[in-house]
Structure 1
């Protein structure tokens, strides 16, 4: 599905079902340097179980036009405009990593548009090591190796993909290598600069699920728990043996947890 948001063409995968704004809507937001495909299993399941789904490619990512937006706050306002373009007055938001910060900030800035939050691989602050940030800004291939190496938990480094014949490390590399030049650097800089996590969490008025990986080395589960404690109505689920890439390392557990949370609303 293509939409026009802020004058640019945006692609959103709808899970094989037409997007119907009369249904309960959910927007799935990917992390730095990635695109909508990281949500493939969850997108299809939710779309075939009563949800109107938009798994978006953020500006400049995947099949969406334009340049990547330089800041979480700008992306949060873009998220509001995405809902306008889709004709959805309200939606649940699910975000991973940078996408989780975008979802959190959107709920804080536009509470009338967000009915629930699901935040995966998230922390109040997401500082990026200067060497990694410099490598990403310079389009050094080593940046992808570092993000992939740290982002996946142990099972991801020994295959880890539930689909036969596929492995998570090479799949993650290919996904990030197909991003446009400069995208990863812009995204990591946005994560590094974002300092409103605590304030945004305190401003959230909707229910929030924190779905965390017990072995996450980028946003440790204890940091996710600390952020959850700042949200008035939150619940925390920690998946054992899982790293930062929660929805691709544990796709079935992720979709089961998301569905249960959304159905309880």
Structure 2
């Protein structure tokens, strides 16, 4: 589905079903140098089980036009305008990594907040920031290695013919090459690194909060969640995966998401 937000075309994947604003809405927000496609399996399940689905491509990512935004606060405000455009007041906000910070900042419009592969502060090492700036291809290889646990490689991963690390790297390369005016990888890492509004956003929280964390995550370690954990008091779901947990253990992440969306079921 294509929308017009701030004069630019914004693409939203609706899970294979026409979006119906009358249904309970789930918004999926991707992380750094990713797009809506990382949510395909979860988005399709939700769309075929009674939810209206909006898996967004953030500005300058995937099929969405416009310059990539540089602050979590600005992206959260953009997300609010997207919800206005489709006639949705409240939605379950589900964000991965950088997307989890955006969901947190945008949570005044959340019926439920689900932070996947999250950490706060989400500081990025100086070495990785400089590599993303000067040698983005090398930085992509580093992030791919750190984002995937051994569970994603043979013989641990059960999907025959699937190369999770290769497909993740290919997605990052494609998104980086399409954005010729800006180093998208560096931009997104800076968005994560600079965000300091987590405490204030947590103080405004008025909805249920869930964390879905990878026990083997080397990018956003579960140990980095002490600050938000104390403030938000979330229900924590831990799955046996790394940072790319939606790809590595989709069934386990779906089970956790269902528990967040359907707490009484």
Displacement of 1:67 in angstroms is: 1.1
Runs of 4+ in 1 over 6 A off after TM superposition: none
Q: Is the 2:112–2:260 Cα contact (8 Å) retained in structure 1?
A: no
Alignment correspondent of 2:68: 68
Pair 1:132-2:124 in alignment: no
User: Who is 1:249 aligned against?
Assistant: 248
* Structure 1 residue 173 corresponds to structure 2 residue 169: yes
Match of 2:148 among 144, 152, 160: 152
The residue that corresponds to 2:258 in the other structure is 259
CA contact (8 A) 1:121 1:224 kept: no
RMSD (CA atoms): 1.6
Structure 2 unaligned regions, length at least 5: none
Question: CA deviation digits over 1:131-152, x for unaligned, max 9?
Answer: 2212223353101001111111
- 1:35-46 aligned within 5 A: 35-46=35-46
More displaced, 78-87 or 94-103?
78-87
Correspondence for 2:112 among 113, 116, 129: 116
Q: Is the 8 A contact 1:72 1:105 kept in 2?
A: yes
**SS of residue paired to 1:224:** helix
Residues 162, 3 of structure 1: CA spacing in aligned structure 2 closer, same or farther, 3 A cutoff?
Answer: farther
Aligned length: 259
Q: Give the deviation of 1:162 after TM superposition.
A: 4.4
Deviation string 1:39-85 (CA, Å, 9 cap, x unpaired) is: 11000000000100001110000111011100111111011011011
Length-normalised TM-score, structure 2: 0.93
- Secondary structure, in 3 states, of the residue corresponding to 2:231? coil
Query: Is contact 1:139–1:185 with CA below 8 Å preserved after alignment?
Result: no
The answer to whether the aligner puts 1:24 opposite 2:16 as a matched pair is: no
Specify every segment of 5 or more residues in structure 1 that has no aligned partner in the other structure, as ranges.
none
Kindly report which structure 2 residues correspond to 1:178-217, keeping only aligned pairs within 5 A, or say none: 178-179=174-175, 180-181=178-179, 182-217=183-218
Q: Closer, same or farther in 2 for the Cα pair 1:6/1:163, shift >3 Å?
A: farther
Higher mean alpha-carbon deviation, 157-166 vs 98-107, is at 157-166
State which drifts further: 168-177 or 146-155. Answer: 146-155
Q: 1:51 to 1:156 in 2, by over 3 A?
A: same
Residues 1:160 and 1:178: Cα distance change in structure 2 (over 3 Å): farther
Match of 2:229 in 1: 228
* Within-5 A mapping of 1:57-96: 57-96=57-96
TM-score norm. by structure 1 comes to: 0.93
Moved more, 169-178 or 196-205: 196-205
